[in-house]
A and B are shown apart, each in its own frame.
Chain A
Amino acid sequence: MIPLATRILIASVGGQGGLTLARVLAFASVLSGFSVRTGETLGMAQRYGSVVSYVQIGSRVYTPKFTPGEADYLVGLELVESIRNIHYLKPSGFALVADEYRPPYTLSVENPLSTRDQSLDLIKSLHSKTITIPARKLAVEAGNPRALNIVMLGSLNALANIFSHKTIEEAIKHVLPARVVESSIKAYIKGYEYTQATRRDTFT
């Protein structure tokens, strides 16, 4: 039923792997016997533009779309995009945000002095239940800098606890190319473990 549905908004810059992350979640959902819908707009050179993916998982869901104030989790692969979409969260929802900073053209031109730290402070001031993840560092440690999105998947599952590790591994195996499966699973575990530890420090 709808009230039990988990709503996840993935905010990213086109090309960062937000769509792939949504697809892994969809696959894990089907493997777990959940109903799932994910949705985004793709196809028109959305690379380097703002991209959001809606993900809704539950026993019975009909649409990927939900409205501002309804998301349980915001998974941000980039800071400015996370700030842009923070209003999608419920007051009780969690923001899981990679500390990746890619200011858009207008921000770079109008405020060239702005920094990553300012964005980090801003997002925490906008939503107190925010955990920032050194996702790029963890992805590099896992041996795949491109796996920033999968680090964030680990982070999400550490908080949301929707899927077993085994299910996530299966989903990764079926969605991602064989050559990156091993490093992606490592990236997932890195994100998971980091977030579990941080969560204890931050919210207990």
Chain B
Amino acid sequence: MVYTPMSLLAEPGTRLPLMGNEAIARGVLEAGVYVVTGYPGTPSSEVIMTLQEYSRDLDIYVEWSINERVALEVAIGAAISGARAMATMKAPGLNVASDPLLSAAYSGVDGGLVVYVADDPGPHTTQTEQDSRWYGELAKLPLISPSSPQEAKDYVVAGVEWSEALGLPVLLRTTTRVSHTVGDVLLGEVKKPRRGKGFRKNPERFVRAGMDWNLERHRWLNNQLARVEELASKYGFNRVIGGGDLCIVTEGAAFNYVLEVVEEYSLSARVLKLGLLYPFPSKFILDNVRDCREILVVEELDPYIEQHLKIVLYDAGLHIPIRGKTTRHIPLEGELDKSTVLSALGLKQTIQPRTPHKTPRRPPPLCPGCPHRFTFLALKRAISKMGFKLSEVPVIGDIGCYALSVYKPIDMLWTEHSMGASISMAMGLKLAGVDKPVVAVIGDSTLYHAGLQSLIEAVNKSVDLLVVVVDNGVVAMTGHQSTPAWSTSETGRVLKPISLDDLVKAVNPDDFRVVDSYNYDELVGVFEELIDKPGVKVVVSRHPCALLEARLKGVKTRYTVDVELCRGCKACLVVTGCPAIVMEGGRARIIQEDCNGCGLCTRFCPYGAIKQSG
């Protein structure tokens, strides 16, 4: 076989094991995309992260944006000038970017624009089990959904070409089991990145203030959509596998479970695999289901295909029984697997599953040395010292690692909602009459992303709030991406750093402090002083992400437990919840390679048993 080292830039014809997102990154190169923007969000982040690793060899723009809306607008700007572009985001990110998305359908594009959105059935890492397939219908934009890393790559290439042919942005939608699955991928030819050709003034097309123009563009859009299925047919998004009068209509990751069941159980079934999901491929469906005895629809998240299929069959006067989510043959919530497909088909698994052994859960904690641990423990201490009960001071959180402080023993967060919602929701609580102090906690990147507007609102309306900005200098949760405070991006691009402190000070809160998170006593003091004062008080608790520091600089000091002095009281563990500390045979032990040397645990050992180990 042709073989070259694992590299995104390997020769065409090479077969590589690529994660879905890495395959999409390769697709970007094979599609000649020139501008790639996005905001980090699991399970979508690795597309940009992978491209950035190779940025020195690539003549393309690939940078993180401040949020998804800005990312999409930048990509739209590039595409209306004729450049090929892509914007990447997780499902809730598309909600943030939905405003420009809907307008972009009316304006159209000249260069191919693919908007990549990753859904998360399960959910594994997302606040909702949002089904972004509805965005095709809502935004009136073509939507395709691949099933494997190979298809994910090929769909990028097809999507960009097809977007250009239609003059419309195309939505590429995946789920976790496509984005984060590694599979063998056969590479194709890399194209020269397509830059812009210049932007020609055309208000009828690009100015949405003209209502007659908008009506006209809506007609244009509907005409384009009517052409989609025919134009799509040459890309082979939809196909039929097998035969028989039991028909299964499926797409995405669910297709793989269907295919494995059909092969493993030697079923006679006709599988309709859909890749084009909006506009719904009515012709393909009618060409292939007329003689079906019954149809099983296997899809994750909402009954999207099922509902569209019913409309198509109704209009054609066909009465074929349909099993799916509406009939509860397929669950409405959670991720599917082979066993769901088997039971929907009325089959028994040949292998009897064994009962799991009950084992204590291990939810992801804050890392050893995490500066957020200092901030939350200091806040806890200050609330108690001021004579408040922890159960009467709402701590309104936001999206980021610090949300992990919801777990025991830190157990501090009351809400985690949507990007930037902490300050504004806390404001609502105060307005509604919560008479005790209310605290909002928000990370640096989340503040840049969508928190500043909330802060302006709270300061402008003079609400009494303590706002704690936990600033670790990086988008840590999603794998350490850059923020607007950086002076050089991942690609080596020189940036003009936007100071978080200057931004906050410009909003003119009633008090403003900056404390090093590792300075626990100072943090307690500042929180005590400010928590009950009137107005909006902003405390920036700043310390670099411990995990990133350890990776970049190594760990100079670690701590260990002197077993002679340890009495097994568990204080170090039950106060900090540090995952480097375990109890074994009645004594505490610090896992040496996991200790990041913050020393916070030493503060809580009543016997002085925790010492530096070097």
Asked if B124 and A44 sit within 8 Å, CB to CB, the answer is yes
A118 to B594, CA, bound (A): 23
A87 at the interface (CB under 8 A from B): yes
> Max chain B CB contacts within 10 Å: which of A15, A36, A68, A101?
A68
Q: Which of B181-189, B433-441, B515-523 contacts A (4 or more CB under 8 A)?
A: B181-189
Asked if A39 and B362 sit within 8 Å, CB to CB, the answer is no
A171 to B173, CA, bound (A): 31
Asked if B367 and A83 sit within 8 Å, CB to CB, the answer is no
A146 at the interface (CB under 8 A from B): yes
A80 to B584, CA, bound (A): 13
B205 at the interface (CB under 8 A from A): no
Specify which chain A residues have a CB less than 8 angstroms from the CB of B605 in the assembled complex: none
Tell me how far the C-beta of B46 lies from the nearest C-beta in chain A, rounded to whole angstroms.
Answer: 8
Asked if A105 and B256 sit within 8 Å, CB to CB, the answer is no
A113 to B53, CA, bound (A): 46
Number of A-B contacts (CB under 8 A): 202
Specify which chain A residues have a CB less than 8 angstroms from the CB of B352 in the assembled complex: 69
A45 to B352, CA, bound (A): 34
Q: Which of A58-66, A151-159, A179-187 contacts B (4 or more CB under 8 A)?
A: A58-66
Asked if A62 and B260 sit within 8 Å, CB to CB, the answer is yes
Asked if B257 and A63 sit within 8 Å, CB to CB, the answer is yes
B445 at the interface (CB under 8 A from A): no
Asked if B264 and A31 sit within 8 Å, CB to CB, the answer is no
Specify which chain B residues have a CB less than 8 angstroms from the CB of A49 in the assembled complex: 362-365
B357 at the interface (CB under 8 A from A): yes
Specify which chain A residues have a CB less than 8 angstroms from the CB of B16 in the assembled complex: 30
Specify which chain B residues have a CB less than 8 angstroms from the CB of A42 in the assembled complex: 42-43, 180
Asked if A84 and B17 sit within 8 Å, CB to CB, the answer is no
Asked if B338 and A68 sit within 8 Å, CB to CB, the answer is no
Specify which chain A residues have a CB less than 8 angstroms from the CB of B122 in the assembled complex: 41
Closest to B43 in A: A43
Tell me how far the C-beta of B569 lies from the nearest C-beta in chain A, rounded to whole angstroms.
Answer: 9
Q: Which of B27-35, B152-160, B572-580 contacts A (4 or more CB under 8 A)?
A: B572-580
Given A2-B263, A49-B365, A104-B361, A30-B256 contact (CB < 8 Å): no
- For chain A, give the interface size range: 35 or more
Asked if A174 and B124 sit within 8 Å, CB to CB, the answer is no
Tell me which residues from 446 to 487 in chain B have a Cβ below 8 Å from any Cβ of chain A: 476-479
Specify which chain A residues have a CB less than 8 angstroms from the CB of B177 in the assembled complex: 39, 63-65
Tell me how far the C-beta of B613 lies from the nearest C-beta in chain A, rounded to whole angstroms.
Answer: 15
Partner of A107, one of B357, B360, B368: B360
Asked if B584 and A101 sit within 8 Å, CB to CB, the answer is yes
Asked if A112 and B360 sit within 8 Å, CB to CB, the answer is no
A128 at the interface (CB under 8 A from B): no
Asked if A70 and B182 sit within 8 Å, CB to CB, the answer is no
Asked if A50 and B17 sit within 8 Å, CB to CB, the answer is no
Asked if B183 and A36 sit within 8 Å, CB to CB, the answer is yes
B1 at the interface (CB under 8 A from A): yes
Tell me how far the C-beta of B375 lies from the nearest C-beta in chain A, rounded to whole angstroms.
Answer: 16
Given A23-B182, A37-B183, A69-B351, A83-B3 contact (CB < 8 Å): no
Contacts A80-B360, A108-B573 known; list 14 others, CB within 8 Å: A37-B181, A42-B180, A43-B42, A62-B257, A63-B177, A63-B253, A64-B182, A68-B354, A80-B359, A106-B360, A109-B574, A112-B586, A113-B585, A146-B593
Q: Please, could you name 9 A-B residue pairs with CB atoms under 8 Å apart, sorted by A?
A: A31-B3, A41-B125, A42-B42, A66-B337, A84-B362, A91-B354, A103-B583, A108-B573, A109-B583
Q: Which 10 A-B pairs have the closest CB atoms?
A: A49-B364, A43-B42, A104-B362, A63-B256, A112-B583, A26-B17, A44-B125, A48-B579, A62-B256, A108-B583
Q: Which residues of A contact B (CB under 8 A)?
A: 1-3, 13-15, 22-23, 26-27, 29-31, 33, 35-50, 61-70, 80-81, 83-87, 89-91, 101-110, 112-116, 122, 126, 145-146, 174-175
